[in-house]
Amino acid sequence: MDIERQQEIAKQAAATTPAHSSDRPSVLAALQRENTDWAGEVIQAFGEITIVVPRGRLVEICTFLKTAPGLEFIMLSDLCGADRGPEEDPRFEVNYQLFSVTKHYRLRLKVLLAEDDPHVPTVTGVWRTANWHERETFDLFGVVFDGHPDLRRILLPDDWQGHALRKDFPLRGYEPYSLT
């Protein structure tokens, strides 16, 4: 391998060194500086930051996190729902795993939803990859993403009854499913 190539690799490696954990609270600070209501409860555990955000401001917050210089969470790694159980209130949560392509750190946003009002605004306008994730969460949990361009079931058949990943849905279903 020639020297230039080696130097190039070394430069690449230096450019992609992970951000130190001391940089991470700056995300939180930036959020609070922008608007004090945005960051609700903040959980720092297992080396990860989770911010519980109010449902109504979700799209605003996501847009800010995506575009603000120094943050640039331009990739949505993952979006998944979770059910805390029928006796809990709020019952559902939707988790957004954000990834900053330039700074290489991760952040989790969490929205809590009550059982009788499982609506959350869509973030497909911010990250288009959210499209299938939101369809999956709708399919399995029954969380409705308002404003989604194509909110249909994705994994289960269109005529499926119920939402399979809810805690009160039995493991083997209510009755044998037949395609005919």
Partner 1 sequence: MAATLPPQFEVVDRPLDTQMTISMGPQHPSTHGVLRLELVLDGEMIVKCTPDIGYLHTGMEKLFEYKKFQQGIVITDRMDYLNPLGNNLAYVMAVEKLLGLEIPERAQTIRVLMCELQRIASHLVWLGTHALDIGAMTVFFYCFREREKILNMIEAASGGRLTPSYFRIGGLMMDLPAGFERRCQQFIDKFLPAVDEFHTLLTGNRIFQRRTQGVGIISAEDAIDWGLTGPSLRGSGVNIDVRRTDPYTGYEQYDFEVPIETGCDVWARYIVRMRELKESHKIVRQGLGRLQPGPIKADAPKVVLPDREAMKTHMDALIHHFLIVAEGFNVPAGEVYHAIEGSKGELGCYVKSDGGPKPSRVHFRGPSFINLSALPLMAEGEMIADVVAIIGSLDIVLGEIDR
Q: Among 23, 86, 104, 146, which residue sits at the site for partner 1 (rule: CB under 8 A)?
A: 104
Q: Among 2, 3, 4, 12, which residue sits at the site for partner 1 (rule: CB under 8 A)?
A: 12
- What span, in angstroms and rounded, lies between the C-alpha atoms of 98 and 72? 10
* 164 is a site residue for partner 1 (CB under 8 A): yes
Q: Which residues have CB under 8 Å from 180's CB, separation 6+?
A: none
DSSP at 76? E
Taking the least distance from each CB to partner 1, the nearer of 33 and 42 is 42
Geometric angle at alpha carbon 157, from 121 and 161, rounded to 5°? 75
Q: Among 58, 65, 71, 127, which residue sits at the site for partner 1 (rule: CB under 8 A)?
A: 127
Exposure string of 63-101, with b = 16+ CB inside 10 Å and e = fewer, is ebbbeeeebebeebeebebebeeeeeeebbbbebbbbbe
Taking the least distance from each CB to partner 1, the nearer of 12 and 36 is 12
Task: Name the residues that contact partner 1, by CB under 8 A.
Answer: 9, 12-13, 15-16, 18, 45-48, 50, 74-78, 80, 82-84, 95, 97, 101, 104, 106, 108, 127-129, 131-133, 140, 153-157, 164-165, 167, 169, 171
